[in-house]
Structure 1
């Protein structure tokens, strides 16, 4: 269908583009009217920028002849509007180039948006990419159709990544970037450890072993609580694997980070005691009103229960959701430690 008002005859370059528009739309799967609208908007913006006429500029492209109909609509102070035809003779060559750029940009934007929709469907999943570059502390990763962006807070502290080397990440959310499809990725989040464990332990994917809670201080230590839906299946043993092979595979991806896997329990006393491992708790008392757990441990294991800089107790509190007070089992109140849940 022809769309025209008062037209000027177009140059052959514009006419050729108009004739090829239908074929191009069919090839890339874009509706004809959508592409035509994109071109006309781009032409109107280009015309207004080049000639600065008064009012709002609109451009109509006759798809049969390639002719342009350029008009402006001026609204007067009393609210009435006047539409007038604008000359397009001097705009011909620019129009062809502008239309070409508009088509290419629109196709690029559609491809980018499609990639971002595909990426969004894989949120929370692991992906392998190649480190492309590191700029201002941000790691950019080639994930194929999209670029992964890993800011400092999503990186494992102390870990050094090198351009050209493969890296495993977990996909977070798409990021807005007009030039290309970008997605935020992470190695520091709890989801990264969860997906690593899931990849190594088939019982988790099968649903017979469940990850109940994860507490992590990336680069230092992680605690994972697991349970089983089968009575005779040891969830911790399943995650550790024969001769520790599954546990070692997770550790190899996390470099120097320690990973403790403990049994989850509905009994808070048992859960808190397990969460403080490798220390052995002699007694756990729970105050459910204040959500405080008072734990007695042998004096010789007090430092082990608390951990360096309070790390073990702090992660146990995060894992269980209880404030944890650690005391020596002897009567002397020496070396007590209190760690709030976060």
Structure 2
């Protein structure tokens, strides 16, 4: 486009054509043309001049003006003038006024015309990029259809509505290939504004891609009657989705599967044969985990809510099915539910329980000097430590089948004696190790923890304060503290550092000045 030879009305027509082809506003194209003419004007009259160009939006008439601004103190002699000088030209002028001097039309040379064209192309491209970003910035999370424009090093450039998007190699399904001209459907994962223009990143491996595919294929999901609560994918291999129905008359699993599997097969076909398990979602974590491990059968579930773990017991012959090939089934179930899942066979769980029973029984036999029958009764009632027996309500002990008040009192007395003896032993050991009383006085500290600290060389308040919470958790006996408690204890130990810093300021006014030599 050579604006040097454009008739006036044709200039407007050119702006209309460019605006329509590029999908940007006509006014933005005309502004780009004005900036190009201004640049050509500065090339002719000098780069320091304030040259302004306007194009009449109706006739296409170009007007060129040199502007001079009225200022109090001149910083640029070319484009500024003092108020005194301005008054000689027009007494009505004041500070901030702009004097406009009409200039004759520019006779564009070849170089000037080419420069103007480059400016227009650059500005139009900038407007086009901004329009693309504004159009797509709020569309992350949608599925979009496009055509493959080119494939470079496995990365696919996709032509979408008036824009280009990139589908990186690691966002393609395994063994999936595309060629130029292929139609493609993908999920808009991210839209970012970068110096080279807006970057639209697509994905076919994102879990939300599967959710959106089901939304397109299952009307009940689209209408909100059925909700997909969670998605877990091993892209190209297997996936699990958890669904719930807000209409008791509609089976969420059946609706997503469709007549003879038509709906789920449409999604499977789009994902290159990725197997999909559709399971009912449940508010109860145990039920949800059992459903998520399908098709394996579960015999028993034990929750540890504090640790976010769940222990699942399955029949011996179901172990390989529950774990899945290369751990895939249990991994996807864990991703889907948000729980760390430990799987045991019934035999492993039985052996572990027997070992726990034996260890606890031996502890009670040794500490309380009792026979294995009484120790077994205590373990069966759920007692796990001598401390629990020492401080439990006496009536709870007496209520154990085979016990009476005398036996309960004797057991508790022996437990208290053992606890006191153990505390005294640990206290003596703590002093031998040189752990200071200041450390012992930290709230939440136990004798066993003090000995463990001393054996690791943590003996003073400063030693303890220097620890990080994860270091403390590694030193103390297992399950003694959680991270929040460890952090609180360390911060309590560090309090004296701040007290020491404030002390000079607090006493400075009363301190006598040091004698000078």
Q: Structure 2 length as normaliser, TM-score?
A: 0.53
The corresponding residue for 2:249 is 232
Q: Find 1:132's aligned residue among 149, 154, 158.
A: 149
Contact 1:226 1:264 (C-alpha < 8 Å) held by counterparts: yes
For 1:300, what is the secondary structure of its paired residue?
A: helix
- What is the aligned partner in structure 2 of residue 273 from structure 1? 290
Q: Distance in 2 between matches of 1:79 and 1:16?
A: 39
* Corresponding residue of 1:241: 258
What is the alpha-carbon distance in structure 2 between the residues aligned to residue 255 and residue 272 of structure 1? 27
Contact 2:34 2:55 in 1 (8 A): no
Residue number in structure 1 paired with 2:172: 155
Please tell me whether the aligned partners of residues 40 and 116 of structure 2 are also in contact (alpha carbons under 8 angstroms).
no
Q: CA deviation at 1:24?
A: 5.6
Structure whose CA Rg is larger = 2
CA distance in 2, matches of 1:250, 1:51: 64
Cα distance in 2 between the residues matched to 1:35 and 1:13: 13
Deviation string, structure 1 residues 38-67 (Cα, Å, up to 9, x no partner): 33444555677x689675764545768646
In the alignment, the residues of structure 2 paired with residue 131 and residue 31 of structure 1 have an alpha-carbon distance, to the nearest angstrom, of 28
Equivalent position of 2:211 in the other structure: 194
Note the alpha carbon deviations across 1:197-242, whole angstroms, 9 max, x for none. Answer: 1111111012111000111121222111110101232111111112
**Using a 3 Å threshold, how does the CA distance of structure 1 residues 134 and 163 change in structure 2: closer, same or farther?**
same
Deviations 1:148-172 (A, max 9, x none): 3101232112222233322221223
Alpha-carbon distance in 1 for matches of 2:210, 2:8: 54
Change over 3 Å in CA distance of 1:151–1:70 after alignment to 2: farther
Residues in 1 aligned to 2:52 and 2:13: alpha-carbon distance in whole angstroms: 22
* Aligned match of 1:80: 75
Q: Which residues in structure 2 correspond to 1:95-174 (within 5 Å)?
A: 95-174=112-191
- Match in the other structure for 2:334: 317
In structure 2, which of residues 7, 24, 33 is the aligned counterpart of residue 39 of structure 1? 33
Q: 8 Å contact 2:3–2:11 — kept in the other structure?
A: no
Greater RCO, CA 8 A, separation 6+: 1
Closer, same or farther: CA 13–324 of 1 in aligned 2, 3 Å: closer
Cα separation, partners in 2 of 1:284 and 1:184, compared to 1, 3 Å: same
Q: Distance in 1 between matches of 2:146 and 2:25?
A: 34
Deviation at 1:175, TM superposition (A): 4.9
Q: Deviations over 1:255-280 (max 9, x none)?
A: 24221111100011100101111111
**How does 1:272-291 map onto structure 2 within 5 Å?**
272-291=289-308
Question: Is contact 1:209–1:226 with CA below 8 Å preserved after alignment?
Answer: yes
Aligned length: 318
Distance in structure 1 (CA, Å) of the matches to 2:27 and 2:180: 44
> Which structure shows the higher helix fraction?
2
Assess if the C-alpha contact under 8 Å between 1:17 and 1:96 holds in 2: no
Q: Measure, in 2, the Cα distance between the counterparts of 1:43 and 1:13.
A: 9
Aligned equivalents of 1:247, 1:62: Cα separation in 2:
59
SS in 2 for 1:183: strand
CA contact (8 A) 2:39 2:116 kept: no
1:299: how far off? 1.0
In the alignment, what sits opposite 1:305?
322
Q: Offset at 1:174?
A: 3.5
Question: Which among 208, 215, 218 is matched to residue 235 of structure 2?
Answer: 218
* Distance verdict in 2 for CA 1:98–1:36, change over 3 Å: farther
* TM-score, normalised with respect to structure 1: 0.77
Structure 1 residue 301, shift from structure 2 partner: 1.1
- Paired with 2:65 and 2:5, the residues of 1 have a C-alpha distance of 14
